[in-house]
Structure 1
């Protein structure tokens, strides 16, 4: 049999709310058994000494805490549907989600895939309670019950298209589910399989059965293979594992807990009773599993036994094992059973054992078996080559083989053979990537369907990060890949784990800070890269980023290598060395080009690729390279020639900034042949350039007119007629370099508009020659860019220069304007600031290439805290046998589901947000009888209080409506409102996007029926 890897685990058992707590319970030989909670039934009422008919002999058992808690908003399930659902479905939904996360997969990544779901389940007491209450059976009650739905719910909510089935073989159900899942993987029916089991004890029915059959332990505790063993103690729990073919898991660099080498399932057939164990069948299922696994019995180091703690069951199991292991001299088979800690979890017993074995192999130690201190001498274990685990058993790092048995009450037996994972898979090394990676900071991300859920999970991640000593880069890399896919995006950068913990807690505790670090993008962002021009340079610019970021370092080195043949000196060394020569034009221009090329390429390599580009003057050179209009070496040659030729021009020119419109200056400038309009940066932001004497005359006149002017500190009069002496020599270089049509749209500051790609408008030699003397039409180009719908403006340069001008230009046009992002916000900027910029872009909807953000050493799978579901909403039966009457041993409960949901999450913290109310903040509800009726009916169908509902809530995405609920909605509306006229489902469906649109539709058809536009309709009284 091809090996199957266990790559993800989640579980919840008595005394153990999660996988970590489960392992802790096992290692300390903890006891998860206690008194039957009142939420289930009144155990004392049903207890009678001596096991009288219809009564139980114990008030104890293993029960999970809060099985009524369910985060229905997370799964977009209405309260009414949640209240109808078997709690076993609810537990499995949450456990499946967390198991997929534990496998290092964002659950949404599996959507649409052929992943399979296989669930073992034995009891369906919720259905027994609700489906016999005929007056209250609803469509939700129907779909909320049934074995199939335990698996189908998972497939539906995770959008999985592979096999989806539930199996009931009694106590062996969940190990049989694992067997079926493994076979589906082997046959390539699916590539990922979720296998699990669940058991929730709602009534004392099985406890009564065990008592009457003489199988129930009076203290409610299983004592596997112990001299004190006196029967079964009931237990609850849920567990889910994620399975893949080992070769696929290793290829994807997933962590592997353990490997399933072989499984087998058989049946007792006719024996001495349908509920009695059959030693011969157990022997054969062991042999079959060993054969499929390709191992000899002597290879098996330890076995997790079925271990119910009944005299006959323990004896048959030991003899069956002894048949294969009796000849082991000096190396007896180690044996134990988790039922001593939890009780018999029935349909979840197999998965409880599987998870114990997988964790034992992963952690290289097998926990002691509870109650093993007093071994049952009549079992003669030594003669059978077996020893009971009275103390933890340390395991070697690799090559350990283990067994796992699970036997069904009706005779269906299952056995699995597991092995420790290959060393590289058990603790995988760094995941390789095509990119060297590394920005010098970590960007931790987290998503949730609502802001309160985000707050809750921020605290859970902070707690987990504080407990574990894991490098921040590895934590963040895992968060990027696993905690993705929900509507609300949180992102923050950090330099170390301590800082990350602080920032997570601060955000969770401060609503204003959380709002700044969170966004709910509605679509893909439209990103514009704006490249700064001359004047933004300074000594040692981006030195911190070069130090921290391997990615930036590589691209700056690349630009420097391209420039060196044309400059004769390393521009990189000049920049990073803090040389004041960076202010000399011959060095300024190539230096800015190198920095901006490296920064633009770094962002592109990080997955942030521009939709549009704009460069201010000399900034267009780096923009042209990223747009594909110039090759790097050609652009390097051009920019080096440009700077050197300008430096050779005589001094004596200057530039003057004037707070005035271009049109008001054109006539005066035309009178000065040596002066030109160099740039138009805004409606009242014009720059003049040219001969100093002429500029002084103009400046004096403008000052007399009351206009504000400012001299710019420049060496030459750029973009003026004084540049003409260099044009011929520059044109010769430009002709040799050439240039093509940009592949990415470019808003040209030469043309003041978008270059026409379809018309073949190129950034060629003629363009670059014209560029030297042409007016920089920044305002025109920027306004056109903003009108094109840019949502994010990323300034590419050594410090922000253009953002203020863009805000001025955009502020008058739109209320919000684009988000401004500064990868290098100042002279001290380093990797942390680049991380902040990437976080901002991610919050806006960008999808970075996270592997490129980190060095290889950080790209290692790590376990993050699982998703923390809300426990605010409670769903249980109003009257179970705990409150019913015992009449002649027969319980007659009143069967109604109740919902205990004190408040939607939106009411519990600010800023308000939840799956129900997140869209509704600030939106009033329309008045009128039709609106009131619509809100009441929507609330009734979904189980919402009318005051929770607002016009902008979406019926499907936010309120969890489906086709069944839509039909009920239509029928109830027709009952509630008269005079609506004809309302068909076909007409109704397109108008169900929001509650407000539904109200509008009802008003429309009502007005049409009455021949007027008044919204009021006759409301039928109850």
Structure 2
């Protein structure tokens, strides 16, 4: 048999709410037995120390906490449907989701795939209680019960298209489900499979049966293979594993808990009674599993036995194992059973044992078996080559092999052989990757369906990461892979795990900080890149980012290689070594181009494709290159010529920043022909350029009139008539280089508007040197195009401060402003913060480029933390003492106990119930879904938010017709397009019913 990998798991058993707690319980030999909760049945009413008819001999058992808790809003299940569903379905939905996450997969990524779901289940007490109350049977009660639905619910809500079936072979159900799932994987029927088991005890029926059959332990505890063994103790729980073909798991780099080498299933046939075990069938199924696994019995280090703790059952099981292991007197095989910790979980027994074996192989330790201290000498364990584990067994290095038995009360037996996951050396070697990757800082992201769920899961992740050492790169990488797919997003950067944990805890504790680090994705962001111009340069600009980010390093090197033939030296080295000559125009301009190009290309590779572009003066060269106006080599030649020719101009010019608008300056400039407007950055932010003496005269006038000014430190009078001596030489280079039409929307600071099919050719670039920079006009036009974010691309956020001073748009909205480099101390974290900001706004980055290859390693994060605020159990008077009552009738939908009023479905704005149609519509929606009218806001979507389906729509139509006779002629086809939201439906009904309502009012008058 080819091997199957267990790549993910989750569970919930008595005393163990998750897999980590389950392992801790096993290692301390914990006891999960407690008294029967009053929520189930009044144990006193059904208890008798003697085998009296209709009574159980114990009030103890293994019970999980809060089986009524269900996060229905997460799965978009209406309260009414949730209240009708078997709790086993609810538990399994959440467990399956968490198991898939544990496998390193965002569950929504499996949507549409041929993933199989195989569920072991033998109890259906919820259906017995509800489907027999015929007056209260509804569509929700019908679909909320039945074995098949436990598997089908998972397939439906995760949109899985593979086989989906429930398996009932009594106590062996979930291990048989694993067997079937493995065979489906090996046959190619599916590529992933979820195998699970679930059991919730709702009535004392099986406890009474066990007692009447002489199988029930008076203290409610299984004592496997012990001299104290005196029967079965009932237990409950849920567990799920994610299975995959081993070769596929290894090829994808998934973590593997353990490997299933072989499984086998058979039947007792005609034995000494249908519920009596058959030793010969048990030993044959074990042998068959060994043969399929290709192992010899002496290779098995330990076996997780069925181990119910009944005298006959233990004797038969030990005899069956002894048939294969009796020759191992010197090195007996270890034997135990998890049933000693929390009882016999019936349909979930096999999955409980499988997860225990998988964790034991994963941790290299087998927990001690509870009640092993007093082994049953009549079993002659030593003579059969077996021993009970009285202390944890440390497994030797290398591969270990384990067995697992699960025997059904009706005679269906199953056995599995597992082994340790292969060492890393067995994995295929990583392919050499020459692509540059990595931004220099980790980025942790988290998503959830609502802000409340996001905050709850953020707290869970912070606590989990605080409790263990974790590589920050792997944590961040897996957060994107696993915790994605929901509308509400959180993102934060961190250079190391300690900082990450600190920032997570801070966000949990501070509502304002939490709000600032979250966003709601309603589609990809519309991003504008603003390229900074000359004057923003400084020695060692972006040196920190170059050192920390391989991705940025690659593109700065690329720009340097393109510039070097024209500059004669390395612009990159000039920038990074702190050479003060970076302020000289001949070096400042190519250096700023190199930085702008490298940052722009880095953002592109990270998935932040620009929707809009703008460059301030010399910044327009990098913007044009990114827009496809010319290639990198051509841009490098042109920008180098520009800087060199300007540097050759004679001194004598200057630039003056004036806190005044162009119109205010026109009259003054008319008297100073040697000075003119060079830049317009805002309504009252203008830069003059020209002869230094003329500027000084103007400066004195401004000072006299109380107008604030600032003389800029520049080498030349840019964008003035003093540039004209170099224009002919530059034009010659520009004509050779050429320039086409931008392939992306580019807002020209030469024209102060969007370029509409116009080429940025030689004439454009010549005029670009001489004419003013119309930044304010260009940015205003860009802003009016509706970008969601502006990202300043340059060594410091100069333009960002200018944009904040510009008047807002007519709508009053402003784009979110961010910058990947924020000054001389910037490194990878500032770039990561920019990606985080865009992610919160809806960007789905190319995560493979965010992280270096070494960080793209699997790491298991804490699973999703579901809400336990909503409680769905039975309501109303019990039909008999201790028995849960049925759900409410359709006209009186059951309400969840303790339902939260702070949920993702609540909207403060509600349709004003000022007319009978509105009141009727809201009441009908509330009755069908089980919602209070006060919860129903107009923006809530019936399908996506309120969990409506075709059955509920038909019921909604019926209820509306009963109250609004005018709707009798309305067809379902007419109604369906009007169900987008509560508000849409209400508006439609009011319009549709208006003539009838008006006529009624007229007759009444």
Tell me which of 794, 798, 802 is aligned to 2:799. Answer: 802
Q: Measure how far apart 1:334 and its partner are.
A: 1.6
Kindly tell me the number of residue pairs found equivalent between the two proteins. 1000
Match of 2:838, SS state, is helix
Q: Distance in 2 between matches of 1:334 and 1:971?
A: 63
The C-alpha deviation readout for 1:814-846, integer Å capped at 9, x for no partner, is 322211111122332222222221111110001
CA distance in 1, matches of 2:63, 2:169: 22
The residue aligned with 2:905 is 916
2:916 to 929, 934, 941: 929
Q: CA deviation at 1:640?
A: 1.9
Q: Contact 2:83–2:887 (CA<8 Å) still a contact in 1? A: no
Q: Report the counterpart of residue 6 of structure 2 in structure 1.
A: 6
Q: Judging changes above 3 Å, is the alpha-carbon distance between structure 1 residues 892 and 116 closer, same or farther for their aligned structure 2 residues?
A: closer
Q: Secondary structure at the match of 1:356?
A: helix
Q: Decide whether the 8 Å contact of 1:436 with 1:856 is kept in 2.
A: no
Q: Are residues 336 and 436 of structure 1, via their aligned partners in 2, closer, same or farther at CA, if it must alter by over 3 Å?
A: farther
For the residues of structure 1 that align with 2:966 and 2:609, how far apart are their CA atoms? 56
Alignment of 1:493-504 (within 5 A): 493-504=493-504
Unaligned runs of at least 5 residues, structure 2: none
Does 1:955 find its partner at 2:942? yes
C-alpha displacement of 1:503: 1.9
Aligned equivalents of 1:789, 1:952: Cα separation in 2: 24
Aligned runs of 1:580-979 on 2, under 5 Å? 580-659=580-659, 661-662=661-662, 675-695=675-695, 710-756=710-756, 759=757, 761-809=758-806, 811-878=808-875, 884-885=880-881, 896=888, 898-904=894-900, 906=902, 914-917=903-906, 920-921=907-908, 925-979=912-966
State the distance in 1 between where 2:161 and 2:546 align.
47
The CA deviation at 1:754 is 3.1
> Are the counterparts in 2 of residues 952 and 995 from structure 1 also a CA contact under 8 Å?
yes
Distance 1:434 1:792, change over 3 A: farther
Deviation at 1:785, TM superposition (A): 2.2
Q: Does 1:449 align with 2:438?
A: no
What SS does structure 2 have at the residue aligned with 1:689?
A: strand
Q: In the superposition, relative to structure 1, how do residues 673 and 572 fare at CA in structure 2: closer, same or farther (>3 Å)? A: same
Cα separation, 1, equivalents of 2:503 and 2:608: 24
Deviation (angstroms), 1:695: 4.4
With the length of structure 1 as denominator, give the TM-score of the two structures: 0.93
Who is 1:93 aligned against? 93
Higher alpha-carbon deviation: 529-538 or 858-867: 858-867
Instruction: Look up the SS of the partner of 2:798 in the other structure.
Output: coil
Q: Secondary structure of 1:244's match? A: strand
- Equivalent position of 2:265 in the other structure: 265
Instruction: Identify if the C-alpha distance between structure 1 residues 982 and 370 changes in structure 2 by more than 3 Å, giving closer, same or farther.
Output: same
CA distance in 2, matches of 1:335, 1:515: 53
Q: How far apart are 1:12 and its partner, in Å?
A: 0.3
Q: Match of 2:195, SS?
A: strand
Report the alpha carbon displacement of residue 710 of structure 1 after superposing the two structures with TM: 4.5
The aligned counterpart of 1:131 is: 131
| Aligned CA distance change for structure 1 residues 898 and 969 (closer, same or farther; 3 Å) | closer
The Cα of 1:393 is off from its aligned counterpart by 1.3
**Change beyond 3 A, Cα 1:724–1:879:** same
569-578 or 341-350: bigger deviation:
569-578
CA distance in 2, matches of 1:771, 1:280: 93
Greater shift, 107-116 or 708-717, is seen at: 708-717
Q: Is contact 1:397-1:423 (8 Å) kept?
A: no
* Matching residue of 1:472: 472
Partner secondary structure for residue 16 of structure 2: coil
Q: Which moved more, 1:891-900 or 1:230-239?
A: 891-900
Q: State how far apart, in whole Å, the 1-side matches of 2:190 and 2:761 are.
A: 54
Q: How much has 1:990 moved relative to structure 2?
A: 1.5
Cα distance between partner residues in 2 of 1:399 and 1:600: 50
- Tell me if structure 1 keeps the 8 A contact 2:493–2:500: yes
Give distance in 2, aligned partners of 1:561 and 1:8.
47
Q: Secondary structure at the match of 2:49?
A: coil
In the TM superposition, residue 892 of structure 1 has moved relative to its aligned partner by 9.3
Q: Deviations over 1:522-578 (max 9, x none)?
A: 111111111010111223322332333333233323323333333233333332333
SS of the counterpart of 1:446? Answer: strand
**Offset at residue 169 of structure 1 (A):** 0.7
What is the deviation of 1:520? Answer: 0.8
Partner of residue 277, structure 1 = 277
Give me the whole-angstrom Cα distance separating, in 2, the residues matched to 1:789 and 1:1018.
Answer: 53
- Residue by residue over 1:253-277, the C-alpha shift from the partner in whole angstroms, topping out at 9 and shown as x without a partner, is 1100011111111112222211111
Cα pair 1:981 1:1006 within 8 Å, conserved: no
- 903 and 121 in structure 1: CA distance in 2 versus 1, 3 angstrom threshold: closer
- What's the secondary structure of 2:536's corresponding residue? coil
**Aligned counterparts of 1:636 and 1:304: Cα–Cα separation in 2:** 70
Alignment of 1:342-381 (within 5 A): 342-381=342-381
Q: Is this contact kept in 2: 1:250–1:425, CA < 8 A?
A: no
**Deviation of 1:285 (Å):** 1.4
Structure 1, 992-1001 or 976-985: larger mean CA deviation: 976-985
Contact 2:329 2:382 in 1 (8 A): no
Q: Which runs of 5+ in 1 are unaligned?
A: 907-913
**1:373-522 equivalences in 2 (<5 Å):** 373-424=373-424, 435-522=435-522
User: Given the superposition, is the C-alpha separation of residues 359 and 184 from structure 1 closer, same or farther in structure 2, using an over 3 Å criterion?
Assistant: same
CA distance in 1, matches of 2:1002, 2:616: 61
Q: TM-score, normalised by structure 2?
A: 0.95
1:205 CA drift (Å): 0.5
Alignment of 1:166-181 (within 5 A): 166-181=166-181
**Which stretch of the first structure deviates more once superposed, 829-838 or 237-246?**
829-838
